[in-house]
Structure 1
Amino acid sequence: MFRQNYVDSMSTLRHQFDWLPDPLGSILLLCAAALIALLLSRLITGALPRLPGLRKIQFIHALINRLRLNISYFLMIIAASAALPATEGFSPKTETFLAHALACLFIMNLGFGIIRAFRLITDQYLNRISSRENVDDITVRSHQTQIRVLRRLIEITFGVLTVAASLMVFNSVQKFGVSLFASAGAASLIVGLSARPALSNLIAGIQIAITQPIRMEDMLILNGDWAWVEEINATYVVLRTWDRRRYIVPISYFLENPFQNWTHSSQSLIGSVFLWLDYRTPMDQVRQMFMEEIEHCPDWDKDRSSIACQVADSNAQVISIRIIAGAADAGNMWNLSCDIRERMLRRIQSELPECLPRGRTAVVSDSPSEAPWPESLMSPPVNRPDDGRYRGPDLKSPVVS
């Protein structure tokens, strides 16, 4: 009944365009119906959030704002489709094409509206879990990774199905689909070979979402660069370096190649600093300096079990001292390492300048009667054969002890 009244009203409106050619008047009728529906949709989307029962529900407000265009298109397509019987001057073939085109637009608008609503729901969930204080950072990043990757896969799949369903309303597309299924064997082989990289990345995305070797905002080492996971898409990953460069890496790379993930289990890291000092360095005093300076480092995580100051190596000229301390994350670790290095060098320069690395050279003559030069730097002194304290096995060659 309502539809018949609407068609009668559209027929009455159509007669207002009798002074125009019938096809042009019918096109203006469809445009007028769509315009009336657009005005009606604005009234509906503006009035719904103000209803007493929906005024305090923030999700309804966000949903209406997100789907405002889809609601407008939805009503405009329905209005134009319902006004189609009131048109005149169209051939049966043209009228059938217009009906199929409106049905195609209706299915596409409905499908992509569902995708936008699904994205809103997942965004609301991510915002809610991120705002909780009792949820650790790894759990939040795990949920973000799973939802973002799986959401993109679902959106791609549902989008393809929506486009396919909307195009199937045309008879020509249906016939093409039947012929495509008839030759599915050869077509599947060709499509499989040509789409192998894309399919492998899609499957890798599912594996990434389930196993999670990487998560959102994980810190990785790639080609010697520190990089944070900025975005995980269905087929590639965007990595952000410390100097704001971006790596675009196929998602299958993280399943086929080894890489370093510094925040997989925890964000806390241990930074190391190496100092090369002279052999005369008093280690007890250096350790005391380190314990005093670490207390003034703002980036230290206050974990005393992670700090140490040890002689890690030595060579013919210097000893290598390794200093380690823990920090909350990679950025703080880098700042902590630089801070410790600056503080220790400043203390050593002012209190232990003799411990800084230096090169020593002494010239020793073959003649027993000539002293080495410079003699003041020889420690211990050179023992000559004529001193009578020690001689080599042949009692002729001078021996240096």
Structure 2
Amino acid sequence: MRETVVDTLAPLGVALGVALLALLAVHFVHKVLLRAGRQSKFVTDLANRSHRPVQWVVVLCSVYLSVRSTADGASWRHTFLHLDQLIIIGTAAWLLAALLVVAEETALSRFRTDVPDNRTARRVHTQVVMVRRVTVAVMAVLAAAVMLMTFPQARLVGTSVLASAGFAGILAGLAAQSVLRNVFAGLQLAFSDAVRLGDVVIVENEWGRVQEITLSYVVVHIWDDRRLILPTSRFTERPFENWTRTDSALLGAVNFDVDWWLPVAEMREELRRGLESTDLWDGRVSVLQVIEATGSAMRLRALVSAQDAPRLWDLRCFVREHLVTWLRDAHPAALPRLRAEVGSAMPVHATLTGQTVTTDSDSRVFSHSVDGRARAEAFTGRE
């Protein structure tokens, strides 16, 4: 009985001592890397990210080799080594995932998204994040498969499964059809550049910014701080608007229904004065046009421009409020009305005789200005 106890405790004591030495060695190397990598962010991140998984891998491998060499006659040797082997496989996958995260952060640090022109950086971020997630998922599956293959029973089951792989593959394909569709849709989104992290989109009649793209779903941060969760296949199978596909600058329209007696030229000048008084306007487009004239009123469209979608929304609200106030104070008679009188009488203060019709750049969308001519070429082509 005493020999049995000694045979049991002696290998465990040796394994414990080897584990402590391995921990000290890993700790020493970790400190050396931190000291040597003070001027290198890559070395610092590598040391911090890989410290824990390296500790587990080194200690478990040391214990495995120690028990294998010293516990030849112990009855628990086989079970202990098998359990240790399973944990080593899991921690090795953990270490590879940590190294992958370090490589991802190093690659992404070269592409900043906090700059005005960040379209390329957002595309790279989307692709790298998707590749990392696919790789981590594949490593997890492979690690689980290697663990199962360490069991003799699993090898026998694997042989029978391979024999019926055709039928099982058909069943698995039918069962996982929607899952696989979303996975391939996620990869397509990452590399087709149709939508990227940070893009402003209109989807399901909601305006928001793409916050996260995974292999199965996309998170859209809506303007009112709600989160819209959509399957990735939604963005490959149905149309959506991407407001930052090539550039963040946008045009926005504000419509007004006014009476026929309104002097349009004065309102056009007031529009420009209002835009020049706010920093929301980017100075590109200031256009006021009559887009419709019916029997009771005419519809005016104020077309303005801003650097991005949030500024454009605030600018449209500003223009609407500014021109409504101007109409109410300067031309109250031009507010929309229903006519019931019959005759040709004309108000004394409003006459068309001598009114100057302007054709400056504020009255045309596709001409006169450099930006307007470029916009016209985008739709009609160069002459």
TM-score bracket, normalised by the shorter chain, equals 0.7 to 0.9
Contact persistence 2:271–2:286 (CA under 8 A): no
Evaluate the alpha carbon distance shift between residue 234 and residue 166 of structure 1 in structure 2; reply closer, same or farther with a 3 A threshold: same
Query: What does the per-residue CA deviation read over 1:373-400, in whole Å, with 9 as the maximum and x for residues that have no partner?
Result: xxxxx5436xxxxxxxxxxxxxxxxxxx
Cα shift at 1:173: 2.3
Distance in 1 (CA, whole Å) between partners of 2:245 and 2:114 is 21
Match of 1:200 among 160, 181, 192: 181
Cα shift at 1:142: 1.4
Match of 1:315 among 290, 294, 299: 294
Equivalent residue number for residue 367 of structure 1: none
Cα shift at 1:89: 7.3
Equivalent residue number for residue 74 of structure 2: 90
Query: What does the per-residue CA deviation read over 1:340-393, in whole Å, with 9 as the maximum and x for residues that have no partner?
Result: 11111122222122212233445xxxxxxxxxxxxxxx5436xxxxxxxxxxxx
Q: Which residue identity does 1:86 align to in structure 2? A: T
Q: Does 1:129 align with 2:111?
A: yes
Report the 3-state secondary structure (helix = DSSP H, G, I; strand = E; otherwise coil) of the residue aligned with 2:109.
helix
Cα shift at 1:27: 5.1
Equivalent residue number for residue 69 of structure 1: 52
Distance in 2 (CA, whole Å) between partners of 1:338 and 1:328 is 15
In structure 1, stretches of 5+ residues that fail to align are 1-16, 363-377, 382-401
**What are the residue-to-residue correspondences of 1:2-401 with 2, within 5 Å?**
23=8, 30-31=15-16, 33-51=18-36, 54-84=37-67, 85-87=69-71, 90-91=74-75, 94-130=76-112, 136-303=117-284, 306-361=285-340, 379-380=343-344
Report the 3-state secondary structure (helix = DSSP H, G, I; strand = E; otherwise coil) of the residue aligned with 1:237.
strand
Distance in 2 (CA, whole Å) between partners of 1:227 and 1:132 is 18
Evaluate the alpha carbon distance shift between residue 180 and residue 31 of structure 1 in structure 2; reply closer, same or farther with a 3 A threshold: farther
> Normalized against structure 1, the TM-score is what?
0.79
Query: What does the per-residue CA deviation read over 1:126-183, in whole Å, with 9 as the maximum and x for residues that have no partner?
Result: 12211796x9321111111221222211221222112212332232222222222122
How large is the RMSD of aligned CA atoms in angstroms?
2.5
Evaluate the alpha carbon distance shift between residue 350 and residue 28 of structure 1 in structure 2; reply closer, same or farther with a 3 A threshold: farther
Q: Which moved more, 1:338-347 or 1:38-47?
A: 38-47
Q: Which moved more, 1:225-234 or 1:188-197?
A: 188-197
Contact persistence 1:74–1:106 (CA under 8 A): yes
Distance in 2 (CA, whole Å) between partners of 1:313 and 1:281 is 14
Q: Which residue identity does 2:185 align to in structure 1? A: A
Distance in 1 (CA, whole Å) between partners of 2:138 and 2:340 is 75
Q: Which residue identity does 2:87 align to in structure 1? A: L
- Which structure is larger by alpha-carbon Rg, 1 or 2? 1
Contact persistence 1:23–1:89 (CA under 8 A): no
Equivalent residue number for residue 395 of structure 1: none
Distance in 2 (CA, whole Å) between partners of 1:181 and 1:259 is 43
Report the 3-state secondary structure (helix = DSSP H, G, I; strand = E; otherwise coil) of the residue aligned with 1:299.
coil
Distance in 2 (CA, whole Å) between partners of 1:351 and 1:246 is 44
Distance in 1 (CA, whole Å) between partners of 2:329 and 2:7 is 98
Distance in 1 (CA, whole Å) between partners of 2:188 and 2:71 is 54
Evaluate the alpha carbon distance shift between residue 27 and residue 361 of structure 1 in structure 2; reply closer, same or farther with a 3 A threshold: farther
Cα shift at 1:18: 8.2
Q: Which residue identity does 1:248 align to in structure 2? A: I
Query: What does the per-residue CA deviation read over 1:268-291, in whole Å, with 9 as the maximum and x for residues that have no partner?
Result: 110110111111111111111112
Q: Which moved more, 1:139-148 or 1:327-336?
A: 139-148
Evaluate the alpha carbon distance shift between residue 249 and residue 57 of structure 1 in structure 2; reply closer, same or farther with a 3 A threshold: same
> Normalized against structure 2, the TM-score is what?
0.82
Distance in 1 (CA, whole Å) between partners of 2:207 and 2:5 is 69
Q: Which moved more, 1:209-218 or 1:79-88?
A: 79-88
Distance in 1 (CA, whole Å) between partners of 2:82 and 2:156 is 15
Contact persistence 2:291–2:300 (CA under 8 A): yes
Q: Which residue identity does 1:210 align to in structure 2? A: F
Query: What does the per-residue CA deviation read over 1:58-80, in whole Å, with 9 as the maximum and x for residues that have no partner?
Result: 21111110111111101210221
Query: What does the per-residue CA deviation read over 1:185-224, in whole Å, with 9 as the maximum and x for residues that have no partner?
Result: 1221121111111111112122222212111111111221
Query: What does the per-residue CA deviation read over 1:235-254, in whole Å, with 9 as the maximum and x for residues that have no partner?
Result: 21111101111111111111
Report the 3-state secondary structure (helix = DSSP H, G, I; strand = E; otherwise coil) of the residue aligned with 2:224.
coil
Evaluate the alpha carbon distance shift between residue 243 and residue 131 of structure 1 in structure 2; reply closer, same or farther with a 3 A threshold: closer
Contact persistence 1:297–1:340 (CA under 8 A): no
Distance in 2 (CA, whole Å) between partners of 1:239 and 1:188 is 34
Cα shift at 1:96: 1.8
Report the 3-state secondary structure (helix = DSSP H, G, I; strand = E; otherwise coil) of the residue aligned with 2:295.
coil
Q: Which residue identity does 1:197 align to in structure 2? A: S
Cα shift at 1:299: 1.2
Report the 3-state secondary structure (helix = DSSP H, G, I; strand = E; otherwise coil) of the residue aligned with 2:99.
helix
Percent identity over paired residues: 29
Contact persistence 2:221–2:228 (CA under 8 A): yes
